[in-house]
Structure 1
Amino acid sequence: MDSEPIKVSGEDVRQTRFRYYDLVMAAFVAILLLSGIIGAGKVATVAGFTFGAGILFFPISYVIGDVLTEVYGYARARRVIWAGFAALIFAAFMSWAIVAMPPADSWSGQEAYETVFGQVWRIAIASIIAFWAGEFVNSYVMAKMKVWTQGRMLWSRTIGSTVVGQAVDSLLFYPIAFLGVWETSDVILVMVTNWALKVGWEAVLTPVTYRVVGFLKKREGVEIFDTDTDFSPFAGREARKV
């Protein structure tokens, strides 16, 4: 039977190898990429409400980001954010390169391919910048609130960090992607609406977050508090291996 997790600082476990960390990282990057590639290209209408289909799944990456910071600390969450950032850049480049290749005369799928995978570069850049900034803010707020609350009230950290992180994400993405293309009032309306939906998703998924966090903490055996962590996005001491 797994014992109760031991309270430690981020520095105490800097060289520790965890059992499930790599799997959580893979889940984060996979959901991030798939929600952008599959979900971003479709606008759906459900019960009279029209929205980008990707919004149903992209917030899950924020939930996993919360789990990473809560269970493994800010330093390891930082590595995952950089991995997701690099994956988004590669996905944008790969989409552009493949769409740009001249199609064979016998292949008739170029138009459909361009519709699904042809990205407007302004939107792609906005998405990458907004993700990077929003995720780091989300993880920072999550880690700081854990220290402030002494590890209590997980719900306050998951929702509070998402309120701030998604606000930064939305404040960057929508103006960079659409200001000057849409009416300013439409940019503001969509920005606020999607921010509220993402925060709402986080609240709805709180019971799931509690279960996943509880499972991972017991299996990993530690409760990490970022009391001595360098919160710079560019620090890399945690990357050294035993």
Structure 2
Amino acid sequence: MFNLYFGIGFALVNFVLFLLCYRFFGRTGLYAWIGAATILANIQVVKTIEMFGIIMTLGNVIYGTIYLATDLLNEKYGEKEAKKAVWFGFFTLIMMTIIMQLVLIFEPAESDFAQPHMEALFGLLWRLALGSLAAYLISQFADVKLYSLLRRRFPKPEQLWIRNNGSTMASQLIDSLVFCTIAFAGVYSWDVWWQILLSTYVIKFVVSAASTPFIYIARGYEFPEEHEQRQ
């Protein structure tokens, strides 16, 4: 039960830090958060934990906040800004992958202790790297488009939860399908593949629902300097 209770606290820490990043730095903070969260999610996913008798990876909470950030950008600044943020996160992911692969090529000194640990974190198989890149790009653009469609269908301020959860839950299903298909199809039996897919998506579903109060809080933040720039 420790992982469950600690996981709840861990999720709250992620959401609070997200709010602080936006509160202190405004729209720029959302871009910074997306860049940092993209890198952190791909580091955390290396670690596995057990919860409810199921083995799962970390990284789903911080990854879920990326959708929260793009939805907030779409809500307050428009679809164009949200798409720009998606490309920013994609570039961050590619940048990390290329640079860290080059770092691993350097021959370590005899006194070095970091190489095997860095290989464990960043020495990804090509299928995992490709799956991560493809899933991010496809699902994030799907999220932006779905959010815009839902905003036209449910435009009222109090219907924000429909826009946020509807777009995120649908796009994260796409994310899970793309990643698991590219990374694991043919590697595991279909029974195991379905278990990985369903357990991953259920976690993302819960994280998305839990993030709802925080997007309402963030939407209420006002930044006079941003209003002046748009005028």
Tell me the TM-score range normalised by the shorter chain.
0.7 to 0.9
- 1:15-73 deviation per Cα after TM superposition (whole angstroms, max 9, x unaligned): xxxx8222211111111211212x11100124544210112321111111211111111
- Report if the CA contact (8 A) 1:158-1:206 is conserved: yes
What is residue 155 of structure 2 aligned with on the other side?
150
Instruction: Return closer, same or farther for 1:216/1:69 CA change in 2, 3 Å cut-off.
Output: farther
Offset of 1:221 from its aligned partner? Answer: 5.2
Between 54-63 and 75-84, report the one with greater CA deviation. 54-63
Tell which structure's C-alpha radius of gyration is larger. 1
The answer to which structure, 1 or 2, has the higher relative contact order (CA under 8 A, 6+ apart) is 1
What is residue 79 of structure 1 aligned with on the other side?
84
What is residue 198 of structure 1 aligned with on the other side?
204
What is residue 45 of structure 1 aligned with on the other side?
50
Q: TM-score, normalised by structure 2?
A: 0.82
What is residue 139 of structure 1 aligned with on the other side?
144
CA distance in 1, matches of 2:177, 2:224: 37
**Which residue identity lines up with residue 125 of structure 1 in the other structure?**
L
What is residue 65 of structure 1 aligned with on the other side?
70
CA distance in 1, matches of 2:145, 2:83: 9
- 1:164-216 deviation per Cα after TM superposition (whole angstroms, max 9, x unaligned): 11111111110101111111221122112211211211111111110001214
Alignment identity in percent? 27
- Report if the CA contact (8 A) 1:95-1:119 is conserved: no
Q: Which runs of 5+ in 1 are unaligned?
A: 1-18, 223-240
Give the helix-richer structure, 1 or 2.
2
What is residue 109 of structure 2 aligned with on the other side?
104
- Report if the CA contact (8 A) 1:71-1:217 is conserved: no
What is residue 24 of structure 1 aligned with on the other side?
30
Aligned length: 205
CA distance in 2, matches of 1:26, 1:214: 20
Give the counterpart of 2:176 among 165, 170, 174.
170
Instruction: Return closer, same or farther for 1:216/1:147 CA change in 2, 3 Å cut-off.
Output: farther
RMSD of aligned Cα (Å): 2.3
- 1:119-176 deviation per Cα after TM superposition (whole angstroms, max 9, x unaligned): 1121011101100000000011111111111234000011100121111111111010
Give the counterpart of 1:94 among 86, 89, 99.
99
CA distance in 1, matches of 2:222, 2:122: 36
Q: TM-score, normalised by structure 1?
A: 0.78
- Report if the CA contact (8 A) 1:59-1:202 is conserved: yes
Q: Which runs of 5+ in 2 are unaligned?
A: 1-24
